[in-house]
Amino acid sequence: MNSSGGPSSDPPRRFVWCSAAGQVLHGRTRPGPTPRASLWQRLLGREASGGTIYEFEAIELEPALRALARHLADPGAFSIETTEGARLDFLASRRSPEVTIDCWFFGASEELAITRTDAPELVTRLYQPLTDHDVSRFLLALAERRAAA
């Protein structure tokens, strides 16, 4: 909603994390909180580590498509959230004509393979107000199209 109570004309944004060629393009990382070391870790002289927290950045479609293109050219990491908050991780390799999509829907994970040329179409579709069920059906259609080719 805009200030006059009508619908907002702002372009849609999605939360994206992307790195390519060894640099973070969208999002940021920070060290996670360090948990208290267990008794056994302290006795063995090991340090507890909090890992890394990945913070996604809300961006519009065009920067997301540019980031995806960079990721496909020099694979690093590309993740995007759906309208309902599910996450899709795009896993690419320079040598493969396919992109594996790791889908985090409905509290479970599933992997599907799509073609590199379908990846921008998928990202573009994610900028539409779709439910996670709609996204899941679209992903299955892309995977079936790849398998039939």
The residue ranges of every structural domain in the chain are: 14-25+58-148
Between the CA of residue 13 and those of 62, 134, 147, what are the distances in Å? 10, 18, 31
Residues 6 or more apart whose Cβ sits within 8 Å of residue 140: 112
CA distance 145 to 71: 23
CB 123 within 8 A of CB 26: no
pLDDT tens digits for the chain (149 residues)?
A: 444 455 567 889 999 999 988 889 999 988 887 777 777 777 777 776 778 888 999 999 999 999 999 999 998 899 999 999 899 999 998 888 899 999 988 777 788 999 999 999 999 999 999 999 999 899 989 989 888 87
CB 18 within 8 A of CB 27: yes
Residue-level pLDDT at 125: 95
Other C-beta atoms within 10 Å of 112: how many? 19
Q: Residue 118 is encoded by which pair of tokens? A: 């379908």
Q: φ and ψ at 16, to 5 degrees?
A: -130, 145
